[in-house]
Amino acid sequence: MTTEFDAHLSTSGRNFGLLTLRLAVGATMLQAGLKKLFDFSTVVENMEQSGWRMPQLAATLVTAAEALGGLGLLLGLLTPLAAMAVLAAMIDAWAVNVAAAAFWSDPFNMPFLLGFGALALLFTGAGVFSLDERFWGRGSWPRLVSVTLLVVAVAAAVVTWVALNGTNPLHLTTPAG
């Protein structure tokens, strides 16, 4: 007798692809967040030296987004929320990387790649090999959830950048100074 779960497992390689993407993005983000957590004072100091206002708050936000978002993606647990947190953090990380030069000089970097990985998972869901599927029977989530959380991620990244950094990260030429 075939169960509904067995039918999900045999559907296609899509679920293995989503598992692979979740493991790659989730593990990378969890590692980044844990490194920040275990050397938190250095993160705060670096953010302060880089001109971030309230560096303790900024470091707390990025550490939580990376560690908790990474763990959520790794496990496939509350995947849309985890992907939103990672995406917001990676938008700001990307802005940090491109702020020092003309934005097209090195736009395709690690935060760019991880951000788009999180975006893909935000819209596809975690797949059947996930705790979302196991607990809620949801390998994917309604499109409205994905779009809403995309808007929240972008808004969170912009508000965080403007409130805590206060500079324009996009330049047509390398900034002076």
User: Please, what is the end-to-end C-alpha distance for the chain in angstroms?
Assistant: 70
pLDDT averaged over 10-residue windows placed end to end, the chain, 177 residues: 55 88 98 98 95 94 98 97 98 84 71 96 96 93 96 95 81 58
> pLDDT value at position 170?
65
User: How many Å apart are CA 125 and CA 138, to the nearest integer?
Assistant: 8
> pLDDT value at position 102?
63
User: Is the whole model's pTM more than 0.85, yes or no?
Assistant: yes
User: How many Å apart are CA 76 and CA 83, to the nearest integer?
Assistant: 10
Residue 158 in contact with residue 87, Cβ under 8 Å?
no
How many alpha carbons fall within 13 Å on the CB side of residue 48? 11
User: How many Å apart are CA 21 and CA 120, to the nearest integer?
Assistant: 9
> pLDDT value at position 2?
52
